[in-house]
Amino acid sequence: MRALRLTLIFLCCLIGSGSAQHLENIDEIGNFNEGLLAINKNNSWGFIDVNGTLVVDFRTDIAAPHGHSPIYSNGLCLIKEIRENIWYYGYINTKGDLVIPAEYIVATAFENDYARVIKPYKTEVIGTNMLGKDIVSYSYHELLITTTNKMALHISGPHNLWYYKLKLQQDLPMIHSTFISPHLIAVKEADRWKILKIE
């Protein structure tokens, strides 16, 4: 009987000590949102829960909005990937699975079940150059998307997109809309505002 008690005490101590997790050498700490906190270590972001358990492992593709740490909002977090020297943005879920592909050249965190994004489009072939390669015209649209990557609202566009400037990271398009309520968006165009209702 005494041996059984000692075994049970040993197992409880082993289980208790195994669940404690210490995270050290953290470079940056964000704020809790939806029960998850972003932490940065060696230029990689991960997320811990309220118990300090690492629930989304450190990865280099998690995107932090300018001047802020990454967050989960509506169960999704912004990620980035570079293709042909152009950053594209998408979203992962709380398991770290890609749920919205990286197809946007500018994107925000989700807010009120929507994200504001800028999507590039190849619009037309306008001729060929001296090497016989197609000269292509590009444009972009500012959109409001849902957590399932469906377009909820066309905010603005088409606007001309200079693809070579994208590759040089110059004159990047900017999002010109902002939420003013859960179902209203204000958009600034040419020093004037318009208000759009999300249906």
| Element holding 53 (H helix, E strand) | none
- Which residue reads 């709380």 in tokens? 94
* pLDDT at residue number 11: 32
What does the pLDDT look like over 122-138, one tens digit per residue?
876 666 777 777 777 88
- State the Cα torsion 151-91-164-119 to the nearest 10°: 0
Q: What is the pLDDT of residues 89-115, one digit of tens each?
A: 999 999 999 999 999 999 999 999 999
Predicted local distance difference test score (pLDDT) of residue 99: 97
The reply to whether the predicted model has a pTM over 0.75 is yes
* Triad 176, 138, 179: Cα angle to 5°: 15
Q: How far apart are CA 104 and CA 106, in angstroms?
A: 6
Is residue 108 exposed (0-12), middle (13-18) or buried (19+ Cβ within 10 Å)?
buried
At 20-52, the pLDDT tens digits run 467 788 999 999 999 999 999 999 999 999 999
138 or 167, greater pLDDT:
138
pLDDT at 21: 62
Q: Is the pLDDT of residue 17 over 50?
A: no
Q: Which amino acid is at 133?
A: K
Record the tokens describing residue 108, joined without a space: 């925000």
Tokens of 71: 């967050």
Q: Are strands 37-41 and 44-48 parallel, antiparallel or unpaired?
A: antiparallel
The helix (H) or strand (E) run that includes residue 149 is none
Looking at residue 18, its pLDDT comes to: 44
Output the six-digit token pair for 151: 């377009």
The conformation of residue 76, written as its DSSP 8-state character, comes to B
